[in-house]
Structure 1
Amino acid sequence: MPEQPRLPELDETTLDPEQRRVHDAILSGPRGIVEGPLRVWLLSPDLADKAQALGAFCRYGTRLPPRLSELAILVTGAHWRAGFEWAVHAPIAIKAGVSPEAAEAIRTGATPSFAEPADAAVYRFARELTDTRFVSDATYAAAVEALGTEGVVELVGILGYYTLISMTINAFNVPLPPGAAEPFPHA
């Protein structure tokens, strides 16, 4: 990824009223911070408003336990080699119960091993969908068994939302959080 962001740093003192409304909604929500791709989206307040609401649901409101949603986020971030996404979510995923070894395997493109069948089902589903753009009947059935049908619908929502996040990061060269090491140095 090129080193320079494509957009200037957002000056919060110059936000128009609609940008300010969305900014403050994000700030007062479960994230408590407006960073990375959310700052990019503020250039289109309607997009930012709708995307951040979907993101709040995908991150905090699905039936998937945080360990499984964070696992799906890691697979997506690694697929897109979205450094900001990885730098933010890898520590969250590990804290939620994804093993550091599994996270590292995902980051480097290796296949992790999982003790829990639900973790393996989420990983296989996420990898298959992102890598091949389809999901086999066997992978789908394993995901439904682990998560239920509604859980699989929500898993696809998580994967889609974090694909939007990752595309935004990569398209606009969103810089890593301060002090974070580049997780994908050959991206």
Structure 2
Amino acid sequence: MRLPLIAPADLTPEQSILYQDMRKGIAGNFNTFKVEREDGALMGPWNPWLHEPAIGKAIWDLTLAMTANASLPDNVRQIAILVVGARYDAAYEIYAHIAVAEHEGMSEQRLATLVADLKPADLTTQESLAYDLSYALSRGGVLPEPLYRLAVSTFGQHGTNELIYLVGLYAMVSTTLNGFNVPVPERE
């Protein structure tokens, strides 16, 4: 870990405001995996965001907007997030979203295949499309036109936009985690 965790007592006033907002959002949306140390210091991507609160707040606001305005089924969202985490080999991202996917009933076989950066054979049509779109965007370059058109016909324009933004958000989260070498906490 390249940035030390910040205990709540050591936060600056600007960090403290962001910390309180993050704690509130985490409690409602990111509570299936370990996100804080015993003293309340935030782990995962939240710690680097606290180190740069002006930037961290903007990323946190985007994260909240993506969560609050989610229209895609959660299984589709989790497939996309796990594809991105696996493509970036972002350990904390994989850890966190395995916990979310397990909580929602995703099978061990499917999870193992996804985090091996492979496409599971048992995906629904929507999940398969989310996998393909996320995988293609994570490789870099322009999303192929047939894949884009299929996404629009399957998810609608709004759902396709959401999926593209979701891939971008989790690419940024994964880059943050990898750049700061954020470790995975012990699983309980």
Normalising by the smaller structure, the TM-score range is 0.7 to 0.9
**Of 125-134 and 66-75, the range deviating more from structure 2:** 125-134
Distance 1:130 1:65, change over 3 A: same
Structure 2 residue runs of 5 or longer lacking an equivalent are 36-41
Q: 1:73, 1:89 within 8 Å by CA — same for their partners in 2?
A: yes
* Pairing 1:71–2:67 present: no
Q: Deviations over 1:5-25 (max 9, x none)?
A: 111222221111110000001
Match of 2:122 in 1: 114
Alignment of 1:99-138 (within 5 A): 99-138=107-146
Name stretches of at least 5 consecutive residues in structure 1 with no aligned partner: 181-187
Residues 164, 83 of structure 1: CA spacing in aligned structure 2 closer, same or farther, 3 A cutoff? same
Which of 103, 111, 131 is residue 95 of structure 1 equivalent to? 103
Shift of the alpha carbon at 1:115? 4.1
Q: What does the per-residue CA deviation read over 1:121-148, in whole Å, with 9 as the maximum and x for residues that have no partner?
A: 1111111111142221221122112211
**Maintained 8 Å contact 1:76/1:159:** yes
Partner of 2:172: 164
Closer, same or farther: CA 115–73 of 1 in aligned 2, 3 Å: closer
Structure-1 residue corresponding to 2:11: 15
TM-score computed with the length of structure 2 as normaliser: 0.86
Identity of aligned residues (%): 27
- Number of corresponding residues: 176
- Does the 8 Å contact 2:119/2:131 carry over to 1? no
CA distance in 2, matches of 1:13, 1:115: 46
Contact 1:84 1:169 in 2 (8 A): yes
Q: In the TM superposition, what is the alpha-carbon distance from 1:110 to its structure 2 partner?
A: 2.3
Does 2:92 align with 1:84? yes
Contact 1:72 1:158 in 2 (8 A): yes
How far residue 95 of structure 1 moved from its aligned partner, in angstroms, is 3.0
The Cα shift of 1:35 comes to: 2.7
Q: Is the 8 A contact 2:3 2:180 kept in 1?
A: yes
Q: CA RMSD in A?
A: 1.8
**Structure 1 residues 133 and 97, CA gap change in structure 2 (3 angstroms):** farther
- Provide Cα deviations, 1:10-45, integer angstroms capped at 9, x if missing partner: 222111111000000111123465431111111111
Letter in 1 for 2:133: F
Q: Which deviates the most, 139-148 or 165-174?
A: 139-148
